[in-house]
Structure 1
Amino acid sequence: MAVMSDRALGRATLHRQHLLEPAGLTALEMIEHLVGMQAQAPWPPYVGLWTRLRAFDHKDLARLLEDRSVVRLLMFRGTVHLVSSADCLALRPLVQRVIDRMYVTAKLTAAVGDPDAVADRGRRLLAEKALTPKEIGDALAEHLPGVLPRQLGDVVRARLPLVQVPPRAVWGVGGATRYATAESWLGAPLQAAELPAVIRRYLAAFGPATVADVQAWSGLTRLREITDAMPGLLRLRDEHGGELLDLPDAPRPDPDVPAPVRFLPDFDNVVLSHARRARIIRDEHRPHLFLRNGIVPGSFLVDGLVEGTWRADDGTVTVRPFNPPSDRVREQLAEAGEQLARFLAPPGAAVAVRFADHGQGVS
């Protein structure tokens, strides 16, 4: 059985993520290829698409949100993702039990009584119009005195597939979070996809991968019984002895193929979607990226590995390497950082790149 090193795994994943060479895809095609993009905050997916596509403008994603081609809702790992409308309807049912496990706890159930009854009442409310979380909780509390509005809102948000409607997440507009049910917003019912097909899509975007990797990405458990029954998968080994799964015709480039500097947004799935992340970040650097407050800041790749973090303020991109970069890498970071600053800043605004002290994450 062939063995792949961490470096080889990293190059394969970067190729499939279009982080070695930008892709000539549309924004919608890329979102579907990635099986969604984590979107805890509204703006990171814009950077995630910009760094992967040959041509991308803010309006490309804004238009998809406005015409309902894509939506933002709780999905994999119980986190907010940007997904295509088709994937919303097909994938949300698969991860519902993950969301229930994370959010509809025994303590919350004891407080609200019957979560299904609360969700049904919430569905009727949202059939009338999109509502903010506070409006949902307050309206439900009128019928369930003694229960905190926040708790009622939490049940509805978890039990129902609620999408955040525009202008939320529309670049240059923003707005308060307002929810509608996916079925009413998209005019179609949910219908769960076949799990083996979803696993194959994961491998196409993140593979080669172990079963534990698939579970880390999705939040689902007991997937080995599914993958063991899947025909046609390629079986490999990683350098630590773990069994890797892959699609036979998926690209696995040479480990020494050049990997250019790339800037990644906050919460990018390429750094979150494996149980072992040595293919993308060294163990000693993990504490600088996965912060105790749950924030995963924007990062940058050098030679295929996360080598620092960044943040943007008023046209200035501040780059904070984990270790002092070479002169050549510093020049590459400055050039790519200026391109990022121009993408984020208003047209014609002054931009700059600043290097901060190394060894710490951006605060």
Structure 2
Amino acid sequence: MTITARALNRSTLARQLLLGRERLGVAEAVRRVVALQAQQPGSPYVALWNRVEDFDPERLDEALEQYELIRTTLMRLTLHIVHAEDYRAFREAMETTLRGSRLRDPRYRAAGFTAEDADALLPGLLEYAGTARSGAELRSRIEEVRGGPVEAVVWRMIRQYAPLWHAPTGPPWSFGTAQSFVTAGARPVLTDPEAPAAGLAVLVRRYLEGFGPASVRDMAQFALVSQGAAREAVRLLGDALEQREGPGGTVLYDVPGAPLPDEDVPAPPRLMAMWDSVLLAYADRSRVLPPAYRKHVIRVNGDTLPTLLVDGYVAGVWRPVDGGVEASAFEPLPARVWDGLAAEAEALGALLADRDPRVYGRYDHWWVKGLPAVETRLLPAR
């Protein structure tokens, strides 16, 4: 069975709960979409608002406070929110990437630390963090054990490598500018050489459930692992996966029985969160993001702007401003689409009003630098 590019788009939207908001609890919604990008504290809330019917942000607060959902460094070396039950396998899947990029970083070694130093330090540090500790407390603990000051890069690399969960410090969102950490409740195995391969097989299967069908290159991009490691995960999964042909003869893998909606199913307009995973989860990002717009949406430093999703594809960007949402379209949009975006903006305004109406205000400089908009409208918030 050959799958068209548009059918792949609709598959992504269906599995990411973007063909229609669904009535789900926040924990189940996160499991369905696999993971939420979370380096910007407000983005998981906007992401779930796009996907969950009658989304209540307090339910997300509660799930994070109770560590039913957790925030930690995982795929692509960035902060994600995942279900606590997924954490151990996902973290084991990322062990090789995290260890190589953090404990083998030349800046880390130049500061006088080695991977072996970190291995010796971690047991005591994790015991100390059995109760939530501030970043300052954990850094001081490292300095106490080492007998002197450590450079900022050492603390950064250790906190990103260690199996630590972020402890909520909000408001207005669950995580504020202050940082606090607690040892992971589901401790991953970091010393077994077979654990990363087994964990990656779990992660690949979950990825296909939430983002498939997908190629080996897509899997590798999603997790930031080598294509060889992704191929090994596919081999380990064996008959648990099925193979399809994608555009241009690309070999795609999928889980049997996963949604494959008709390519003509309508897709409603959405105001997508900054760094939404659908823009970053594939090597071929044209599945959702037209190549002509990529450099305007994913900026040179990696900032991934909040986007207008129209008929399932990025058609512009948006930002919160005084009085509502400023929507900038990269292409002409019909009146009915603007009406749909206006309705979304009104509802989003209600979500943000009690939290942070200017949730992405610190990124206004990208708009000051200019964007290729053919039309910009102020969509009033409620």
For residue 342 of structure 1, what is the aligned residue in structure 2?
A: 350
Structure 2 residue 65 is matched with structure 1 residue 66: yes
Letter of the 2:284 counterpart:
R
Letter of the 1:13 counterpart:
T
Aligned CA distance change for structure 1 residues 126 and 250 (closer, same or farther; 3 Å) = closer
Deviates more, 1:156-165 or 1:306-315: 306-315
1:83 Cα offset (Å) = 1.1
Mapped to 2, the partners of 1:173 and 1:82 lie a distance apart of: 12
Q: Deviations over 1:68-88 (max 9, x none)?
A: 211111001110000111122
Q: Deviations over 1:81-115 (max 9, x none)?
A: 00111122332121021112222213412423333
Structure 2 residue 367 is matched with structure 1 residue 359: no
Letter of the 1:66 counterpart:
E
Which segments of 5 or more consecutive residues in structure 1 lack a partner in the other structure? 350-355
Written as runs of structure 1 = structure 2, the 5 A alignment for 1:92-241 is 92-104=91-103, 105-118=105-118, 120-121=120-121, 123-125=123-125, 127-128=127-128, 129-144=131-146, 148-168=150-170, 171=173, 174=176, 176-182=178-184, 186=185, 188-190=186-188, 194-221=199-226, 222=228, 223-229=230-236, 230-241=238-249
Aligned CA distance change for structure 1 residues 258 and 170 (closer, same or farther; 3 Å) = same
1:290 corresponds, among 280, 298, 303, to 298
Letter of the 1:62 counterpart:
D
Q: Which has the higher helix share?
A: 2
Aligned CA distance change for structure 1 residues 170 and 127 (closer, same or farther; 3 Å) = farther
CA contact under 8 A between 2:34 and 2:206: conserved in structure 1? Answer: yes
Aligned CA distance change for structure 1 residues 34 and 127 (closer, same or farther; 3 Å) = same
1:123 Cα offset (Å) = 4.8
Superposition TM-score, scaled by structure 1 size:
0.88
User: Is the partner of 2:133 in helix, strand or coil?
Assistant: coil
1:239 Cα offset (Å) = 1.6
Deviates more, 1:240-249 or 1:37-46: 240-249
CA contact under 8 A between 1:123 and 1:181: conserved in structure 2? Answer: no
Mapped to 2, the partners of 1:68 and 1:133 lie a distance apart of: 18
Aligned CA distance change for structure 1 residues 113 and 315 (closer, same or farther; 3 Å) = same
Aligned-residue Cα RMSD (Å) equals: 2.6
Aligned CA distance change for structure 1 residues 20 and 158 (closer, same or farther; 3 Å) = same
Q: In percent, how many aligned pairs have the same letter? A: 33
Deviates more, 1:170-179 or 1:256-265: 170-179
Mapped to 2, the partners of 1:232 and 1:32 lie a distance apart of: 19
Aligned CA distance change for structure 1 residues 305 and 169 (closer, same or farther; 3 Å) = farther
Letter of the 1:227 counterpart:
V
Structure 2 residue 340 is matched with structure 1 residue 332: yes
User: Is the partner of 2:92 in helix, strand or coil?
Assistant: helix
Aligned length: 350
Mapped to 2, the partners of 1:76 and 1:113 lie a distance apart of: 24
Letter of the 1:101 counterpart:
G
1:313 Cα offset (Å) = 3.7
Deviates more, 1:127-136 or 1:230-239: 127-136
For residue 258 of structure 1, what is the aligned residue in structure 2?
A: 266
Mapped to 2, the partners of 1:328 and 1:300 lie a distance apart of: 14
Mapped to 1, the partners of 2:180 and 2:202 lie a distance apart of: 32
1:226 Cα offset (Å) = 2.9
User: Is the partner of 1:112 in helix, strand or coil?
Assistant: coil
CA contact under 8 A between 1:267 and 1:295: conserved in structure 2? Answer: yes
Deviates more, 1:89-98 or 1:37-46: 89-98
CA contact under 8 A between 1:111 and 1:147: conserved in structure 2? Answer: no
For residue 42 of structure 1, what is the aligned residue in structure 2?
A: 41
CA contact under 8 A between 2:108 and 2:114: conserved in structure 1? Answer: no
For residue 353 of structure 1, what is the aligned residue in structure 2?
A: none
Letter of the 1:77 counterpart:
R
Which segments of 5 or more consecutive residues in structure 2 lack a partner in the other structure? 190-194, 358-366, 377-382
Letter of the 1:85 counterpart:
A
User: Is the partner of 1:293 in helix, strand or coil?
Assistant: coil
